[in-house]
Amino acid sequence: MRNGGTLLVESLVALGARKAFGVPGESYLAVLDALHDTAGQLDFVLCRNEGGASFMAAAWGKLTGAPGLCLVTRGPGVTNASIGIHTAMQDSVPMICLVGQVGTDMKGREAFQEIDYRAMLGTVAKWAVEIDQVDRIPEILGRAWKTATTGRPGPVVIALPEDMLTTLTDTPALRGPAPFSEPHPDPDAVAKAQDLLARAERPLIFYGGCNWTEAGRADLQRFAESSDIPVVSVFRYQDQFDNHSPVFCGEAGVGMNPSVKAMISQADVILAINARFGENSTDGYSLLSVPQAVQKIIHVHGADSELGKVYQPEIGIQSGPNAFVRALAPVSGDWGDWRAEGRAAYEAAFDAPDQPSPVDMGQVTAHLRAVLPDDAIITNGAGNFAIWSGRFIKFGPGMRLLAPQSGAMGYGLPAAIAARIAHPERTVVCFTGDGDFQMTGQELATATQAGAQPIILILNNGTYGTIRAHQERHYPGRVSGTDMFSPDFAALARAYGFHGERVERTEDFAAAFERAQASETGAVLDLVISAEALTPRVTLSQMRDAAIKAQKTG
């Protein structure tokens, strides 16, 4: 006989959980007590805020393909954690959030910190459930693991009433994760898809999602290259295809390059694999008309709920991405020039003009492209600064990008910590803005305590850059609520046990980054960036002047 908390932890270990990110709470003390005995097998990573913990769990799921595990207390704990749950859902990554709940004898009275989690998070998570019988813990956990990882992966929220966790039971724990193979495509549908591609004049492969295997990624690249079809990724999934391949033509996301917009709008057949058609990857649904696009869409997804969700496909195929690309045979057609033009435009986009800034991020990212290891992991949160990590780094087959499709500020640092915990031997570089960093900067303490300290580049321009850009375009010259004061980031980093430096000139960056790489305690480099350099090709003043001119002529 043991209590529900121990049964829960035993089942998690059997499922393969290795790390749990969280903030302790009295509502799940029995779980914390059980984790006391699993050190080295299932470790609890102590975080400083539940938002940081949930970001780490979401990043773990994106990086490893296994559910990131988040443990938080009831009420304020899970409301803080909801930002990572939402991010995991929009990113389509597996995650399980275990949250304490009031005892079953108090439910429905608005007891201390009581929330109906199914009502609150039922539309944010893939599944929200409450376990109120101790004997059902293995059953619900098994279903949660399967739900989080299959179809369109996503977050599952499990509420744990306090008395259920302390109740004794002799119910056996799970033996291990059940092997669920991904759906395989109908051979006739594959043949029809290949025939439609072969008859295309301007075909395009549009891929996304996190649940690619190494073999699946290689099969997709072989098919695209042998067929000479251009490839575009959805928002923030460019790391799932070798960017050095001659068929890779860029990423469809916020601030989309004009060449990518042109390829999507001008394609006559689009093979969309493992992609949900989000707002950012369709330029506000303007590149493909809803619900019947001019382009013929072959939509392949493991979840039937994604097929026809926004666009009515010419051919809809329920299949996992890896099984589908394994079934493809090369096709041929007269579209070599179409692919070459897309590739040339992608390469040309790396030639950023000199930036009006003490530290020129165009030169910084050029240096990083030359010196980063082939297996580096790049992370970022949300803000205009993220264009440098998203558009000016080439991701080879061994590199990874952890960045939020939800546009959540504060994601980058927790994601970098999770990446260092998962792969302590790899170089992890976080791009963050001064506003973005201060959303979760306290997690530097988590990194130091866990011995998982990444390299952090703070692009410090003294403003909430994305909102400032919108202000200048819509209300030119009327700056309101976007200028910000920040601490001495280098001194703050040292206080947390990191190496810290302030970099004030472009020519000083290379040496500072070399010192950061050599540091055994991670590093924070505070890069002095001018607010004028809000985007790589349009300055803040140019935005303002264009808006004023438009107002006068309009």
Place of tokens 């549009």: 206
The model's pTM is: 0.96
Q: State which amino acid sits at residue 381.
A: G
The string of pLDDT tens digits covering residues 150-172 is 999 999 999 999 999 999 999 99
Question: What homologous superfamily is domain 361-553 in, according to CATH?
Answer: Thiamin diphosphate (ThDP)-binding fold, Pyr/PP domains (3.40.50.970)
- In sequence order, the β-bridge partners of residue 234 are none
**C-beta pairs of 364-370 under 8 Å, 24+ apart in sequence:** 364/388, 364/457, 364/506, 364/509, 364/527, 365/389, 365/392, 365/393, 366/392, 367/509, 367/510, 367/513, 368/393, 368/429, 368/513, 369/393, 369/394
The domains of the chain are located at: 2-169, 187-348, 361-553
Tokens of 478: 């009327």
pLDDT at 105: 80
Percentage of the chain surpassing pLDDT 70?
Answer: 100
DSSP state of 463: B
Q: What is the mean pLDDT of residues 432-436?
A: 97
Q: Kind and range of the H or E element at 402? A: strand 400-402
The string of pLDDT tens digits covering residues 20-43 is 999 999 999 999 999 999 999 999
The string of pLDDT tens digits covering residues 352-386 is 999 999 999 999 999 999 999 999 999 999 999 99
pLDDT at 104: 80
CA torsion sign for 357, 363, 365, 368 is negative
DSSP letters spanning 469-536:
HHHHHHSTT---S-B-----HHHHHHHTT-EEEEE-SGGGHHHHHHHHHH-TT-EEEEEE--TT-SSS
273: helix, coil or strand?
Answer: strand
pLDDT at 4: 98
Residue 346 near residue 249 (C-beta atoms within 8 A):
yes
The string of pLDDT tens digits covering residues 308-336 is 999 999 999 999 999 999 999 999 999 99
CATH number attached to the domain at 2-169: 3.40.50.970
pLDDT at 178: 83
Tell me if 2-169 shares its fold with 187-348.
yes
Question: What homologous superfamily is domain 187-348 in, according to CATH?
Answer: TPP-binding domain (3.40.50.1220)
Q: What is the mean pLDDT of residues 262-276?
A: 97
Tokens of 505: 């000139």
Reported as a pLDDT band with limits 50, 70 and 90, residue 554 is confident
CA–CA dist 531, 87 (Å, integer): 28
Of 150, 158, 118, 127, whose CA–CA distance to 27 is shortest? 158
CA–CA dist 518, 401 (Å, integer): 22
